A and B are shown apart, each in its own frame.
Chain A
Amino acid sequence: MYDLAKKKAAHLLKKRGSLSSLSSHEVKAKETFAKTKDSISTVSYMEELGHHDDIPRPAVQMENTYQLSPTRRFPVLTVTSYLQEEKYEPELCRQMTKTISEVVKARVKDLMIPRYKIIVIISIGQIRDQNMRMGSRCLWDETCDNFSSHTFKNSSLFSTATVYGVYFE
């Protein structure tokens, strides 16, 4: 399934001449024991997929300002269908987050208006009596940029999916 999504994504990218970037982060399940050090921060790694296109696209002069239509359908269908039966497992979920984000992005790309840049963020976490908060702020042009998000929960895991669309002048 993952290979298929990867091939499809690479094929779609070939036509448009841009590179897809995929990055993932993981917080490992740890035993809780007292730590004396205060805090650490780390920066993520990125995996590059697809191929490079050397011919740069010329800047376009025209301006279209169509509102991005709600993308609610895709995150809902994809996330629910992939995760319906799953139990949380670290290895599986690591792969699953990457797969789902690629697939959602490919589907959104297929049906959206051209000249939009797409950003898809997927989080999958284990449910274990903890609390969690996600927030996001965007600095963009409100008349033509928008986003859509969806959360899914089953007995052992939860998942959030958010798609942002940014218009390219």
Chain B
Amino acid sequence: MDLKKVAFSPDDASNVVKECIEGIVGGVDYSQNKVNQWTASIVEHTLTQLVKQGKPFKYIVNCAVMQKSGAGLHTANSCYWDTTTDGSCTVRWENRTMYCVVSVFAVAIAL
């Protein structure tokens, strides 16, 4: 049994997230009808890909999709956890008509 704690790797996670976003909203324009299903599929898809990596983490995936209209948006997060094992990663993506911000938080579980 492996007793060493594995630290979270933000780079791996950010690649997974980028691929998921591209796959789901890659070449499309913002559409109010579809945004509901986009956010749901982005988070679910990201979560399943992360779980497939088989690492001992609990995950929280947060996604915000916003239409481009000249408005500004700020997000911030603050976390109380063990920094040696837990971590987060946020990817900000945009195209011509919308912004998408996806955050992944990974909290280690003791095996």
Contacts and interface: CB of A to CB of B under 8 A. Distances in A.
Interface of A: 13, 16, 18-32, 34-35, 38-44, 56-57, 59, 88, 90, 93-94, 96-98, 100-102, 104-105, 109, 117-141, 145, 162, 164, 166, 168-169
Nearest to B35: A133
Given A21-B88, A137-B47, A120 B78 contact: yes
Contacts of B88: 21, 23, 119
Interface in B14-29: 14, 18, 21-22, 26-27
A98 B76 contact: yes
Contacts of B91: 41-44
Contacts of B103: 121
Interface in B33-84: 35-36, 38-40, 42-44, 46-47, 50-51, 58-84
Quick one: which of B21, B70, B89 has the most chain A CB within 10 A?
A: B70
A127 B84 CA distance: 39
Contacts of A166: 58, 60, 81, 107
A132 B61 contact: no
B43 A129 contact: no
B67 A26 contact: no
Given A105-B80, A137-B44, A169-B109, A125 B73 contact: yes
Contact of A27 (B32, B35, B92): B92
6 contacts: A19-B83, A30-B68, A32-B70, A39-B94, A90-B72, A128-B70
Given A38-B26, A117-B81, A135-B63, 15 more contacts: A16-B80, A24-B75, A30-B68, A43-B14, A117-B79, A119-B77, A120-B77, A121-B76, A125-B74, A131-B32, A132-B73, A133-B66, A136-B61, A140-B107, A168-B107
